[in-house]
Amino acid sequence: MPPSDSQSFLRDLDKKLWTAADKLRSNLDAAVYKHAVLGLIFLKYVSDSFAQRQAEIEAMLKDPENDFFVDPAGYDQPAKYDEAIHQELEERDYYIEKNVFWVPALARWQTLQDSAKLPAGTEITVKNGKTTTYKITSTGKLIDDALEAVEKENPKLKNVLNKNYTQLQIDPANLAGLIDLIATIPFQHADLHAKDILGHVYEYFLGQFALAEGKKGGQYFTPKSIVSLIVEMIEPYQGRVYDPAMGSGGFFVQSERFIEEHGGTIGDIMVFGQESNPTTWRLAAMNMAIRGIDFDFGKEPADTFTRDQHPDLRADFVMANPPFNVKEWWNSKLADDVRWKYGTPPKGNANFAWIQHMLHHLAPNGIASFVLANGSMSANQSGEGDIRRRLIEADIVDCMVQLPSQLFYSTSIPVCIWCLAKNKGASKKRGTERRGETLFIDARRLGRMVDRVHKEFTDEDIAMVAGAYRRWRGSDEGEEEYRDIPGFCSSATLKEIEFHKFALVPGRYVGFSAEEKPDLTHIDLKTELEALAARLEQITISATQASQTLYSFANGSTPI
């Protein structure tokens, strides 16, 4: 956790950049613009990291105390010495040993910024050890060629960068403006590195774009509240982490943050992901590259059900926010799939296909935790109820959390979190024996509105839910014992779940808090009844008056 001044520095930076970038968008569709902006932010990141490493190497070469010292005395002219240093600085090994992407001169940020406003036809010289010339045709083409060059030099980034700036319907002046804007992102701050700053900007932009894209954008972006909650609940600090519907990779980023906050190193996890949307798949890969997370997202973007990219994976942690209630997912070749251990999911709704896919890829002592629409907890249509019953009877359902609505940008449907574990017995990671039990948490009253339509969890909200689950599992470092809290959480047995006809809705298990119950303290009836008597008397008087008035009126005399 960086100290709060860096927090506020990042917050101000995010806002400033977003406002400026949004101005340059003019009429471009947010979904298209997103890739243009994020691609440039990524390029800035690789270029900055490269420049930083280059400065380090240069310092080494010029430090007489260093093993790599290049002695100027060995050169008869300063120019020759400078050339030697330049050649040395272009040595790839220096960069690769530190996991820094090698950036060819054309793609270095300074080159882009200097060349973006040059008229077409201008020739620039590019010096990568040897000197070449490059002819500018358009700003878009320049960026595409730069990205192409980066990809060619770094096998890890193969097919990851979105090289279509030439086709973008974006005004060259705006594109140049965007480059200037991104150039203003500092890559160092008191205690932040390039990856902290650019990673943060990258993620903030993802969120803002999800807002701007509305319904469609939300598919690829899970709100921070939910990602943080799931990560805090299952603590993925070591081993294989898998997200079969990863979108732009939010769960992995949050896992990394979790590890850092708990003093681990990022090398402790290896992330596996799958995503069918090609542009989103690229965003996720860039997202990982910025942070130096070791990732395997399969050979290519592909459908999780029909082209499983990690067939043999058994992950220690599975986290996901799969698309809800997908209607068109079925394919005839899925008929007898090994994954449908608890029953074939209905062809008109993929919820239970996602659940079983994740279970299939879960290690024997792992935990899977994912978001689904509320229907999954109680729907009995087309065999869903039977699959759910078998999951419950197999003692796999570990914890269910009902969430407040309005956490998502793209939908207002109420959602819940499922946590599954194949082994609920006591172990090193789980101090408490919980076989035959399931924890139910009703978190619907938590969260606060951040604007008219969106809700977010506070840190306290997250601690309250995640803490309850961790204490219940016996994997919390605190001394506190788990206990049921009426109206919030309750540990239920299989028998109770049977009574509720295998519906997993936490609201039905947790009971009521004291505030929700009617006040049954006696009231002073006597005083109340005196008021009542006076009231009834008044009604009688008014009624008599009214009848007298009407009576005399009917008898032809005017009422007094």
Q: Which residues of the shown chain bind other proteins in the complex (CB under 8 A)?
A: 325, 373-375, 377-380, 402, 413-414, 442, 490, 496, 499-501, 503, 505, 507-512, 516-520, 522-523, 525-526, 528-529, 531-536, 538-539, 542, 545-546
Closest approach of Cβ 373 to other proteins, in Å? Answer: 6
Q: Of 82 and 498, which CB lies nearer to other proteins in the complex structure? A: 498
* Alpha-carbon dihedral sign for residues 304, 309, 312, 317: negative
Closest approach of Cβ 454 to other proteins, in Å? Answer: 18
Closest approach of Cβ 532 to other proteins, in Å? Answer: 6
84: helix, strand or coil:
helix
Q: Of 59 and 413, which CB lies nearer to other proteins in the complex structure? A: 413
Q: Of 266 and 503, which CB lies nearer to other proteins in the complex structure? A: 503
Q: Of 173 and 543, which CB lies nearer to other proteins in the complex structure? A: 543
Q: Of 8 and 381, which CB lies nearer to other proteins in the complex structure? A: 381
Distances (CA, A) of 165 to 123, 148, 285, 289, 458: 20, 11, 19, 21, 39
d(CA 18, CA 24): 10
> What letter would DSSP give residue 76?
S
Task: Compute the C-alpha angle 312/315/320, nearest 5°.
Answer: 110
Q: Of 394 and 529, which CB lies nearer to other proteins in the complex structure? A: 529
Q: Both tokens of residue 99?
A: 């996991």
Q: Where are the alpha helices (DSSP H) in 26-138?
A: 30-61, 78-89, 92-96, 109-115
Q: Of 219 and 280, which CB lies nearer to other proteins in the complex structure? A: 219
d(CA 399, CA 470): 10
d(CA 72, CA 38): 42
Closest approach of Cβ 422 to other proteins, in Å? Answer: 27
Q: Of 167 and 540, which CB lies nearer to other proteins in the complex structure? A: 540
Q: Both tokens of residue 487?
A: 């109206």
Closest approach of Cβ 548 to other proteins, in Å? Answer: 13
Closest approach of Cβ 494 to other proteins, in Å? Answer: 15
Closest approach of Cβ 458 to other proteins, in Å? Answer: 23
d(CA 549, CA 553): 6
Q: Of 208 and 490, which CB lies nearer to other proteins in the complex structure? A: 490
Q: Both tokens of residue 16?
A: 């400033």
Q: Of 54 and 325, which CB lies nearer to other proteins in the complex structure? A: 325
Q: Of 470 and 508, which CB lies nearer to other proteins in the complex structure? A: 508
Closest approach of Cβ 341 to other proteins, in Å? Answer: 25
Q: Of 394 and 534, which CB lies nearer to other proteins in the complex structure? A: 534
Residues for the chain: how many in total?
560
Q: Chain-centre distance of CA 507, in angstroms?
A: 26
Residues 6+ apart with CB under 8 A from 198: 41, 44, 45, 48, 185, 187, 290
Q: Both tokens of residue 86?
A: 């330049």
d(CA 148, CA 141): 10
* N-term to C-term CA, the chain: 83
What secondary structure, in 3-state letters, does 395-455 show?
CCEEEEEECCCCCCCCCCCCEEEEEEECCCCCCCCCCCCCCCEEEEEECCCCCEECCCCCE
Closest approach of Cβ 345 to other proteins, in Å? Answer: 16
Closest approach of Cβ 351 to other proteins, in Å? Answer: 10
Query: DSSP secondary structure string, 165-218?
Result: TTT----HHHHHHHHHHHHTS-S-BTTB-HHHHHHHHHHHHHHHHHHHHTTTGG
Closest approach of Cβ 542 to other proteins, in Å? Answer: 5
Q: Among 286, 318, 338, 296, which Cα is nearest to 34's?
A: 286
Closest approach of Cβ 27 to other proteins, in Å? Answer: 33
Residue with tokens 């006040």: 519
Q: Of 82 and 516, which CB lies nearer to other proteins in the complex structure? A: 516
d(CA 53, CA 89): 10
Q: Of 440 and 457, which CB lies nearer to other proteins in the complex structure? A: 440
Closest approach of Cβ 98 to other proteins, in Å? Answer: 50
Are 382 and 346 within 8 A, CB to CB? yes
